């Protein structure tokens, strides 16, 4: 845990979130500023800024959980995104995987 980290505060419950999935080492919740309906973030409960800062055992659920959420949401088209470092567009320094549904144009989103 990092005292000033917004995602650690979400894990602790100090900041509210719309939780989608939770286990002992992983949390998934809706993105506060979604790029599409259902945009979800999947994070390890172990704090680390970049993927390379986190021990492997805390990363094992990230992609399976993102996959399960995509499947459960019925998203036929979606992007999985994981940014590391400012130049790579990372804004929150706690590892997170984006699951971003890509709706049909007819649905008027994305």
Q: Does 6 bind ligand 5GP (CB under 6 A)?
A: yes
Q: Which residue number has the CB closest to Zn ion?
A: 5
| Minimum CB distance to ligand 5GP, residue 29 (Å) | 5
| Minimum CB distance to Zn ion, residue 7 (Å) | 5
Q: Does 21 bind ligand 5GP (CB under 6 A)?
A: no
The span from the CA of 92 to the CA of 42, in Å, is: 13
Nearest CB to ligand 5GP, comparing residues 46 and 106 = 46
Nearest to 43 by CA among 1, 14, 88, 75: 1
Q: Which one of ligand 5GP, Zn ion, none interacts with residue 17, CB within 5 to 8 A by kind?
A: ligand 5GP
96 is a catalytic site residue:
yes
Residues with a catalytic annotation lie at 96
């Amino acid at each position: 845990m990092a005292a000033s980290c917004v995602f650690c505060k979400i894990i602790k419950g100090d900041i509210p979130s719309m939780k989608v999935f939770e286990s002992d080492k992983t949390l998934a919740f809706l993105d506060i500023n979604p790029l599409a309906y259902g945009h979800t973030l999947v994070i390890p409960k172990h704090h680390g800024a970049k993927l390379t800062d986190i021990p492997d055992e805390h990363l094992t659920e990230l992609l399976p959980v993102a996959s399960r959420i995509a499947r459960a949401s019925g998203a036929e088209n979606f992007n999985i995104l994981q940014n590391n470092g400012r130049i790579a567009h990372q804004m929150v320094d706690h590892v997170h995987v984006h699951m971003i549904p890509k709706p049909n144009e007819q649905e008027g989103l994305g």
